[in-house]
């Protein structure tokens, strides 16, 4: 097989946790980052250019996360990485709970694997991505697409494709402030009661059936959580006001996307536009500028061209 000299990897944003699915449930969304790797005839190891709204905030030296993942794959296959030109086009907001770091990790690994002649299988790339990220809920759907539930096993990871009913619309409200994953994890307790563990197990089961069937009462009940959301809500200005507005407009429920501060409401095609308007106005009344969008579930994951 002839190896390419240039490859573009398009990687979707993700929403993780989705209520009780803490660190194990995530879905790919129709927002994208693109990473183009071109082998360069240069002694310089890497040259990075970035375009997009938040381009000035992305590192353009060897500390760039996509390039770090690129290097990691070559280390894994015991090869010296080539000099590359890396062109990044940003469509996923940074540090907002939409998996921007996962897109960089997946983009770097997939790009390197293709330029190296695809020595690793998709599963091997996935395992490497999980090892870099530390947990699977963002990188797995970013790589594979769709909604995915991931569980650890004695020998690795078991990935379950979760059916997502065609009438369930994910609405994301992306505020103009950030919340780091580290900060969001610091507020979590180190231990939980048996009652809270049972609560989350039951509600995750109901959520999965709700996603499959589109039944509103199962979605509403299933998105309840006692592991992370009660502790993180105070970090997000106007959370209760935005949630009340979303529910009053017809959303089944609203939760924190990933570690936040983006908020995710699930609704249907009939009420999605009303929910978008309501969440926008609610945060505006709190003095927060936000971008609210009704998105789709991306079913393709990382795509090479």
For residue range 240-254, what is the model confidence (pLDDT) as tens digits? 999 999 999 999 999
Going from the C-alpha of 216 to that of each of 165, 168, 232, 241, 267, the distances in angstroms are 11, 9, 25, 21, 8
Digit-coded pLDDT (tens) for 231-240 = 999 899 999 9
pLDDT at 1 over 60: no
Digit-coded pLDDT (tens) for 103-124 = 999 999 999 999 999 999 999 9
What is the token pair recorded at 174? 């992306």
pLDDT at 2 over 80: no
Cβ distance 151 to 258 under 8 Å? no
Average pLDDT in the 220-228 region? 96
pLDDT at 181 over 80: no
DSSP 260: S
The residues with which 162 forms a beta bridge, in sequence order, are 147
Coil/strand/helix, residue 66: helix
Average pLDDT in the 167-191 region? 89
Digit-coded pLDDT (tens) for 29-66 = 999 999 999 999 877 789 999 999 899 999 999 999 99
Average pLDDT in the 190-206 region? 96
Cβ distance 164 to 149 under 8 Å? no
pLDDT at 199 over 80: yes
The residues with which 89 forms a beta bridge, in sequence order, are 34, 51
Question: Distance (Å, rounded) from C-alpha 151 to C-alpha 137?
Answer: 10
Question: Distance (Å, rounded) from C-alpha 123 to C-alpha 155?
Answer: 13
DSSP string, 176-219: SS---HHHHHHTS-S---HHHHHHHHHHHHHHHHHHHH--HHHH
- Is the pTM for the entire model greater than 0.75? yes
Average pLDDT in the 216-242 region? 94
15-31 burial by CB neighbour count: b if 16+ within 10 A, else e?
A: bbbbbbbbebbbbbbeb
Mean pLDDT of the chain: 95
258-276 burial by CB neighbour count: b if 16+ within 10 A, else e?
A: bbbbbbbbbbbeebbeebb
Q: What percent of the chain has pLDDT over 90?
A: 90
Q: Looking at 181-185, 197-201, 241-245, which range is the least confident one?
A: 181-185
pLDDT at 190 over 60: yes
Cβ distance 136 to 99 under 8 Å? no
Are β-strands 46-51 and 84-89 bridged in parallel, bridged antiparallel, or unpaired? parallel
Q: How confident is the model at residue 183 (pLDDT cuts 50, 70, 90)?
A: confident
**C-alpha radius of gyration, the chain, whole number:** 19
Cβ distance 96 to 256 under 8 Å? no
Q: How confident is the model at residue 220 (pLDDT cuts 50, 70, 90)?
A: very high
Residue 184 confidence (pLDDT): 82
């Amino acid at each position: 097989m002839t190896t390419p000299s240039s490859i573009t990897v398009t990687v979707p944003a993700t929403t993780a946790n989705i209520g009780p699915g803490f660190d194990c449930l995530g879905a790919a969304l129709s927002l994208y980052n693109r990473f183009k790797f071109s082998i360069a005839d240069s002694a310089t190891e890497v040259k990075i250019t970035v375009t997009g709204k938040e381009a000035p905030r992305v590192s353009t030296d060897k500390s760039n996360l996509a390039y770090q993942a690129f290097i990691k794959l070559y280390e894994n296959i015991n090869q010296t990485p080539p000099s590359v030109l890396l062109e990044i086009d940003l469509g996923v907001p940074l540090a907002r709970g939409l998996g921007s770091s996962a897109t960089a990790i997946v983009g770097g690994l997939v790009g390197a694997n293709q330029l190296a002649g695809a020595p690793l299988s998709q599963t091997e790339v996935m395992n490497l991505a999980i090892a870099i990220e530390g947990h699977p809920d963002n990188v797995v759907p970013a790589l594979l697409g769709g909604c995915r539930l991931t569980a650890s096993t004695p020998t690795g990871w078991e990935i379950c494709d979760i059916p997502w009913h065609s009438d369930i619309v994910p609405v994301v409200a992306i505020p103009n402030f950030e919340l780091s994953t580290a900060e969001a994890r610091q507020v979590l307790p180190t231990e939980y009661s048996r009652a809270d563990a049972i609560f989350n197990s039951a509600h995750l089961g109901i959520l999965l059936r709700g996603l499959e069937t589109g039944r509103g009462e199962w979605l509403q009940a299933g998105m309840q959580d006692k592991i992370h959301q009660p502790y993180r809500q105070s970090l997000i200005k106007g959370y209760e006001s935005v949630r009340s507005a979303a529910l009053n407009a017809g959303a089944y429920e609203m939760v924190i996307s990933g570690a936040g501060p983006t908020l995710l409401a699930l609704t249907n095609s009939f009420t999605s536009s009303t929910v978008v308007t309501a969440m926008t106005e609610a945060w505006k009344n709190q003095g927060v500028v936000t971008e609210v969008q009704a998105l789709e579930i991306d079913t393709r994951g990382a795509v090479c061209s």
